[in-house]
Amino acid sequence: MKNWILFISVVTFNFLCISFISSWAPLLSAMCIVFMSLDICFLMTYLTYTSWFSYILFLIFLGGLMVLFTYMCSVAPNEFTKPELVKKMWYALLYSLMAFMVVEWNPNLWTKTTESSIQFMTYSMNLSIMIISIVYLLLTLIVAVNISSYKYGPIRAKKN
């Protein structure tokens, strides 16, 4: 069961990477990045047997993507995906599945020593760094909410 979950995660990540490279619309690129970070966080949860590290990682990814997506939406015009792009994505999915079916999947790729070393790295004396990161992210959230207050209007100027 564990081998198939790792296999599906790698195939999904490969498909999303190919989709990200072939996309030109900002909305589609942002969706690919969100799903890639979600896939990485699921894989980290599965490998470390705890969800705390992957949850914090996903929140940091999502916070950065929100800033990036807001900037891209204010700069880039609205563009829609073309049917050729959807066809390319299906080809990318089939290619990634065939590429991983040809290669022999090694079930001993992830050993217990690797899992325990990852777990040791996430929990060994990093409490102060984690608390500083939490306080920093909280202050950043408060500043962003105060800057974009409703009574002062939007950050982006309106067209008349």
Q: What is the pLDDT of residues 72-99, one digit of tens each?
A: 777 766 666 566 666 766 776 676 666 6
Q: Which two tokens stand for residue 100?
A: 């991983």
The model's pTM: 0.51
Q: What is the pLDDT of residues 51-64, one digit of tens each?
A: 888 888 888 888 88
Residue 134 is which amino acid?
I
Q: What tokens appear for 39 in the block? A: 């896939």
pLDDT for 113 beyond 80: no
* Every domain of the chain and the residues it spans: 2-109
